[in-house]
Structures are given as structure tokens and as C-alpha cells.
Amino acid sequence: MESNLTAAALNVATTAALEAGKIISQSITQLDRIKVNTKVGTRSRIELVSEIDVMAETAIIELLDSSYPEFNVISEEAGDLGRKSDYCWVIDPLDGTHNFLHGHPHCCVSIALKYQDEPVVAVVYDALRNELFSARKGGGAQLEGRRIRVAETSRLSDSLLCTGFPYREGAETKLWLRTFAALMPRAQSVHRTGSSVLDLAYVACGRYDGFWEFGLQEWDIAAGSLLVKEAGGFVSDLSGDTNVFKSGNVVAGAPKVHEKLLHILNHVQ
């Protein structure tokens, strides 16, 4: 895979993320006018999709297709477009929909490009804070064009961790409760923000030392995982496997924190 291609793809993804960000930032002051529905095919009243999710997604896909019509697309609302290609865009047009719908300014646009199932380009744009995170495989990770690195924290007792809990009651919820009970007294503090993509971006730039969550989808992971890796951090599932797409269970962090998180998480299952 040529570096020229990933550089060009990063520019296109950045343009698409900024365009979607305009839709989000212009809409957050008009929340009372936004149509919201329960996601099709789910039984949960809390899996919501707004017209802003759909508008942002449409803008992103149109811009990406204008430059790379042959690339496949997997997106949270549109699903898998099923194109036969080694390249695939993975999109979450609005990660943190619940936050957005309550006027809570913690949400983002996430766009990743995979080559043969491995992320090679990542763009995460927080339109409400005007922060743009980006990465290319082998090219490092940036925030607003400045190189970022994961934190140098080595002890859990000094760590600010972040997590996300499952929406639905079940085995994953019970597992998460056990892991939270194990980690809460060991960490300096634990946050839950409502946007796994931003959580991973914050790990990449050192705002969080570690992160764990279960049952994530591909669009929740792809861009953020590349950011963390290119910033010098580790991302794996509970077994230590770096292919986190198979299980959707993610453990990420600075190297020493990641190691400690894995050790504890595997002793509370």
C-alpha cells in the first residue's frame, strides 16, 4: 500500500469530517427541532438515531465516494455497502448521539480507512471543541497538526481511566460491573463519557491513561485504535489479541497501564 494513497485519503477524510462537523455544530442549538427515532432492528428504547446522524453520514459518504467510488463503506446508520475492495471506510457520523441530543458537548465524527481489515487512516473530529485528531499507519498521530503521545503513567494508582458500560442488561453488563468494581479502587479516578471514539482519542493524547469497554462495534473502534497505536499506546481485546474487531472488547492505554489493565481484567472474568 502506497503512502501517497494514505496521505491523499487522509486529506479527503479530513474534509468529510469537517463537513459533517458543520452539520453537528449548527444543529446543537436547535435540538427541539431534530427528529429522533429508535434504531430499526433493535428492541431497546435507548438505541437512538437522529436526523443529524443521517445528514452527517450522507455528507461524509458523498465526499468519500467522490474521490474513491470503488472503496467499500461500513457506516453505523447505512450499514455495509458491500463493494468488493481491499479498502473500506468505517464511519461513525456522530459518536455520542445521546450526549448531542441533550446538548452535552461531548460527541464527534469518526472516519477510518481500512486496508485488508487493518486501519491505515484515522480522523476524529470534535466539532463542538473544534479539535481534529488524525493518524496514518506508520506516520504517527496528531491533534490539530501537532504530534501527540500517550501518557507516561506507569502506575494504576496515578491513572485517570475511562470506560463505557453496555446499554442492555445481560452477560456483558454483569462482566462490566465486576471489572468496574475491581478497577475503581485501584485507579486515581474513572470516567464514563458516552463517546468511545473520543475516549480512545483522549488516550492517544494523554488525557486518559487507559480505557476499557465491551461489545463495541467496528465504527466505535477503527479510528480510535489507530490513533492510540500511532501515539505509542497499546490496543487489544481481553486476551491480548490486537485484532479487536472480532470480539468488540477493547482495552487500550499507555503501555504499562495497558499491561496492568489486562492483568486485572483477566482475573475478574
What pLDDT score was predicted for residue 51? 85
What pLDDT score was predicted for residue 42? 46
What pLDDT score was predicted for residue 3? 79
What pLDDT score was predicted for residue 163? 97
Instruction: Output the pTM of the full model.
Output: 0.93
DSSP letters for 64-125: HHHH-TTSEEEETTTEE-----SEEEEEEEEETHHHHHTT-S--EEEEEEEETTEEEEEEEE
What pLDDT score was predicted for residue 28? 85
In order of their start, the domains of the chain are: 3-147 (3.30.540.10), 156-265 (3.40.190.80)
User: Splitting the chain (269 residues) into consecutive groups of 10 residues, what average pLDDT does each group show?
Assistant: 87 98 90 72 55 92 98 93 97 94 94 96 97 97 98 97 81 87 96 96 98 95 98 96 92 98 90
What pLDDT score was predicted for residue 235? 98
What pLDDT score was predicted for residue 12? 98
Terminal-to-terminal C-alpha distance of the chain = 39
